[in-house]
Amino acid sequence: MNLLSLLRSKRSLELEAFAYSLVDDILKRYPPSIDTSPNKRLSAARLTRILEDVCQKAMEFQQSTSLGWIGKARLANFFKWKLKDCGYTDAFVDFATEAVVVHLSKKN
């Protein structure tokens, strides 16, 4: 394995771990059981706060690691796949992923 491959692997693991930490934050505050239950719903304001916190962490990570467009895309994909694996609805997965992507795309 050459040095470039090793660096790419390390970066990929770093992105994956960070994406999973974002999902863990969501899991604690908005479990999939609430998302998939027709009888239980969070208020729009609370759900907005949860996603704003996750987006803020993603933006801080981007600023501290200087993610390029490929890094942003990989982070978003890891995030999306983990949400799906946890059992969230497709609507929530798409909404949360789009929110992260939009925040990562903003110019500071």
pTM across the whole model: 0.88
Encode pLDDT of 45-100 as tens digits: 999 999 999 999 999 999 898 888 889 999 999 999 999 999 999 999 999 999 99
Encode pLDDT of 86-107 as tens digits: 999 999 999 999 999 999 988 6
- Length of the chain measured in residues: 108
